[in-house]
Each structure stands twice: as structure tokens, then as C-alpha cells.
């Protein structure tokens, strides 16, 4: 069997197409089973489907590729001709290398992002539950997860911020030793604030207040993080309890002024307040930064942190690529070793047959009354002749034809010294 990976991602296809070929989690087991039933050459299947990629991991018979792209198009009611130019495919070790890079976060939109490893594990779990994951894929997944774990533990691929949302949370964690105990207010409910909320949630922050001009949008975000939604008119009251305030509304004028923050700090008795303004134009008046107990950062302040983090992640990525190459080299050696298994088995079986034949002949000779020393001497001579007959004929023929490679291989195989051979 051969390992085959094919799919599309954020680098090969626009978001509109990625959305069309995304798999619904509830229907995924049926899709996996359909792959196995629809293609006799497909023995095992798993599917990874996220907002940025859809990939099929298959174990197939032979070298030919099944018409899986056509199946993918039909399944999602997409024109195959429109889908095909955006599809990439890899086989054998190239497929394994791609899977390792995906699981390690090296192929992600955000270099080193950690969520992909969990999504990869979910894809494996679904395939196992659907009974479409067999020996070939299990072996591949074991290698992939092993190297992904090494990348996470032996490199700094996920330790440095590469987005302003992540940088905000990372910076807050430097100021507050325990983020989970902090009261957080998020101002806005757009994409940037959603990312901030996800990072905070990942740090164990609960009960976050989401304040937004449109309350319905705040309610949707708050529900996803087990938080609370408030209209913008409640902002002044909310920040009176806030250790951390992060804003990104897209408003044309600041929504947080110096006076509002000063009143909140009086109520808070001037406990430290960490504030981040991710909006352009600004959501927080610059003068807020003049308040002694307030630490105010803008998107420009965080950009330097992001650039530094990206540089460090790129260095970590080079280390990660080296770990993947090392893992692939080890795997290739294993595969080469597997190729010798059948040959070794045939050699042992053939030798065993010859041994049993000669042993039966020797036992008959002993039963007929022949002297044991004579029988054993003949047994030894016969075994030697039988074992070496085919190799001897092949070596002599190769030498006569000027093919010395077989002679050299024999020297290596049986540790024959060149001087012994020449004597």
C-alpha cells in the first residue's frame, strides 16, 4: 500500500472555495465510509477539515491515484474543473512530510499556531471511530504525532506572539502572574476581539465582559467564551471592575476617554489596569496613558512584539524542519528494512526446507546401520553444497560477465576479507 495526501488550503484556494469543500463534523463518518466503498483501491481514509484547509489522508493500493478529486467535487456539489487547479497531492514520504508539517503548525496561516495539532488528533479519532483507519494510516499518524510533539517541546515554535491579538494576551500575562484570576473587559465584537477572546479563554480566563455597540454581536461572542454581554452604554461601569481592558471597535472616535478611566480607577482605588487599544482610529484617548496606575499600549507598540515573535518563530521553524527531516530519514530506513523482511523470510524458509530434507536423509542412513561419523560427515557436506549451490553459480556467472558488484556485495554480506579471496 502507498500513503497519499491531497487537499487544498489557505495558500492554494480562496476562502469561498475552502468554505464549499469543508466537511460537516456530523457527516464526516459517512464521508469516510463512502471513500472506502466508492474506491476499491482506497483501503484506509481520514479527513482533516478546518477553516483553512481540507485534506484527505489515504492508504491506497498500487501507484495509481484514484479519482478522489472528482469524488470531492461531487460530494460538495462543486465543479471538478474549478476545484482541480487548487488541489495539491503528495505520495509516500512526501505525503508523510506534508502531514508532519501540518501537525507541527509549519503549514498554518499563523506560523506555529497550536490549534492545528488538536484538529489533527480529532481527524484521527474520527477515522478510528468510523473504522476507516488501519495499519498504514496508524503507522503514519504515530510518526506524525511523535515529530509534532518534538517540535512543540524542543523548539520555540509556539512561544512567541505573531499576531496583535496574541501579543495583547502575552503582554498581559507578563504583567499579571495569574490571568485566570483577572477581570477582563473586551470592547468590540469583531474578528480581532474574537481572537483575543480565544487566547484569553485558552489561558483559563472566564467571566469576561464583552461590551459592544450592537448587543446581539456581543451576546454571540460572550456565549462562545462563557462571558457576559453588555451594551456600550455600560462601558463606564464595566471598567470599574476591570484589571484588563482590550478594545477594537472600528469607531470613528474614541469610546474610552481619560475622565471615564480616571473615575473607574478611583472606584478601583488605583489598582493597576492594563489597557490595549488595537483599533485604528484609536478607541482609547492617548491621554489615558498619563494615568499613573494605567498601562496603555497601542497597536504600534505591539507591532514590535509581533515582529520579534515572528522572527523567533521562523528560527524555531528551521529547527522544526530539521526534526522532520530526521524523522523522515529514520522512517525511510524502517521502510527499507521492511523490504528485506520478505527476502529474509524466503531465504530462511528455503534453507529450512533443505535442512529438513538432508536431516531426513541422514536419519534414514542411521536407521540402515551406517556409522554415525560417516552419516554426519555426509550431512555436513550435503548441507554446504546445497546452501551454496545457487550463490556459487550466480557469482561465477557474474564474474564471467564482468559484473563485480555481486562479488563486492558477497564480501560485505559474509564479511569476506579481500586477502582471503585472493589467496
Q: How do residues 32-85 score in pLDDT, each as one tens digit?
A: 999 999 998 999 999 999 878 999 999 999 777 789 999 999 999 999 999 999
Residues 143 and 219 in one domain: no
* Domain end call among 284, 307, 330: 307
143 and 168 both lie in a single domain: no
Q: Would the pLDDT of 420 be above 60?
A: no
Question: Using one digit for the tens of pLDDT, what is the confidence trace for 350-397?
Answer: 889 999 999 999 999 999 999 999 999 999 999 999 888 988 998 899
What is the arithmetic mean of pLDDT over 78-102? 96
Q: What is the pLDDT of residue 160?
A: 67
Look at 148 and 64; give whichever has higher pLDDT. 148
| 105 pLDDT above the threshold of 60 | yes
- Which of 241, 247, 252, 313 minimizes the C-alpha distance to 281? 252
User: And the C-alpha cell for 33?
Assistant: 465510509
Span 288-312, pLDDT tens digits: 999 999 999 998 888 777 777 778 8
pLDDT band at residue 423 under the 50/70/90 scheme: very low
Rounded CA separation 22/54 (Å)? 6
Domain boundary residue, one of 120, 154, 188:
154
pLDDT given for residue 100 in this prediction = 97
CATH number of the domain that residue 270 is part of: 3.40.50.720
What is the number of structural domains in the chain?
Answer: 3
pLDDT tens profile 113-139: 777 899 999 999 999 999 999 999 999
The residues assigned a catalytic role are 51
Higher pLDDT, 88 or 417: 88
Shared domain for 180 and 120, answered yes or no, is: no
At residue 237, the pLDDT reads: 96
% of the chain residues with pLDDT over 90: 65
Same domain, 226 and 150: no
Write down the mean pLDDT value for the chain: 90
Answer whether residue 116 is part of any domain. Answer: yes
More confident residue, 417 or 222: 222
User: So what's the pLDDT on residue 413?
Assistant: 84
Closest CA to 3 of 83, 63, 47, 68: 63
Residues 111, 17: one domain? Answer: yes
Last residue of a domain, one of 131, 154, 177: 154
Q: How far apart are CA 103 and CA 98, in angstroms?
A: 9
pLDDT > 90? residue 406: no
Residue 394: give the domain boundaries: 371-422
DSSP result, 42-93: EEEEEEEE-SSEEEEEEEESSSSPPSHHHHHHHHTT--HHHHGGG-EEEEHH
| pLDDT recorded at residue 419 | 55
Residue 313 falls within a domain, yes or no? Answer: no
Query: Residue 336 has what pLDDT?
Result: 77
**Which of left, alpha, beta for 8 (phi over 0: left; psi -120 to 50: alpha)?**
beta
CA geometry: angle at 176 spanning 170 and 177, to 5°? 95
For residues 6 and 150, membership in a common domain is answered with: yes
Q: What is the mean pLDDT of residues 17-29?
A: 91
Q: 55 - beta bridge partners?
A: 7, 48
Amino acid at each position: 500500500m502507498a500513503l497519499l495526501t491531497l487537499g487544498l488550503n489557505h495558500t492554494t484556494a480562496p476562502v469561498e472555495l475552502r468554505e464549499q469543500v469543508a466537511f460537516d463534523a456530523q457527516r464526516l463518518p459517512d464521508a469516510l465510509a463512502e471513500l472506502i466503498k466508492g474506491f476499491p483501491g482506497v483501503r484506509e481514509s481520514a479527513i482533516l477539515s478546518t477553516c483553512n484547509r481540507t485534506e484527505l489522508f489515504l492508504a491506497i493500493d498500487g501507484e495509481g491515484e484514484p479519482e478522489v478529486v472528482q469524488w470531492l467535487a461531487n460530494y460538495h456539489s462543486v465543479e471538478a474543473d474549478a476545484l482541480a487547479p487548487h488541489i495539491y497531492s503528495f505520495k509516500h514520504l512526501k505525503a508523510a512530510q506534508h502531514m508532519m508539517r501540518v501537525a507541527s503548525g509549519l503549514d498554518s496561516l499563523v506560523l506555529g499556531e497550536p490549534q492545528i495539532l488538536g484538529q489533527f488528533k480529532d481527524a484521527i479519532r474520527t477515522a478510528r471511530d468510523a473504522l476507516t483507519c488501519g495499519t498504514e494510516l496508524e503507522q503514519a499518524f504515530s510518526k506524525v504525532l511523535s515529530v509534532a510533539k518534538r517540535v512543540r517541546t524542543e523548539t520555540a515554535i509556539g512561544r512567541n506572539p505573531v499576531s496583535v491579538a496574541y501579543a495583547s494576551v502575552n503582554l498581559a500575562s507578563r504583567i499579571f502572574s495569574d490571568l485566570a484570576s483577572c477581570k477582563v473587559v473586551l470592547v468590540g465584537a469583531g474578528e480581532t476581539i474574537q481572537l483575543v477572546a480565544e487566547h484569553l479563554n485558552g489561558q483559563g480566563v472566564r467571566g469576561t465582559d464583552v461590551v459592544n455597540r450592537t448587543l446581539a454581536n456581543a451576546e454571540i461572542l460572550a456565549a462562545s467564551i462563557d462571558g457576559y454581554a453588555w451594551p456600550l452604554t455600560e462601558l463606564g461601569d464595566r471598567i470599574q471592575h476591570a484589571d484588563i481592558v482590550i478594545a477594537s471597535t472600528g469607531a470613528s472616535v474614541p469610546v474610552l476617554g481619560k475622565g471615564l478611566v480616571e473615575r473607574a480607577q478611583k472606584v478601583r482605588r488605583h489598582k493597576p489596569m492594563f489597557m490595549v487599544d488595537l483599533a485604528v482610529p484609536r478607541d482609547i484617548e492617548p491621554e489615558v496613558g498619563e494615568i499613573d496606575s494605567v498601562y496603555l499600549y497601542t497597536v504600534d507598540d505591539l507591532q514590535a512584539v509581533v515582529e520579534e515573535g515572528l522572527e523567533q518563530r521562523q528560527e524555531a521553524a528551521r529547527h522544526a524542519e530539521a526534526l522532520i527531516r530526521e524523522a523522515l530519514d529514520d522512517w525511510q530506513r524502517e521502510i527499507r528494512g521492511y523490504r528485506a523482511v520478505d527476502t529474509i523470510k524466503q531465504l530462511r524458509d528455503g534453507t529450512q526446507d533443505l535442512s529438513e530434507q538432508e536431516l531426513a536423509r541422514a536419519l534414514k542412513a542411521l536407521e540402515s546401520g551406517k556409522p554415525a561419523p560417516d552419516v554426519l560427515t555426509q550431512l555436513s557436506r550435503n548441507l554446504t553444497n546445497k546452501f551454496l549451490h545457487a550463490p556459487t553459480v550466480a557469482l561465477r556467472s557474474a564474474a564471467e560477465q564482468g559484473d563485480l558488484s555481486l562479488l563486492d556485495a558477497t564480501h560485505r554480506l559474509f564479511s569476506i576479507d579481500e586477502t582471503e579471496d585472493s589467496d
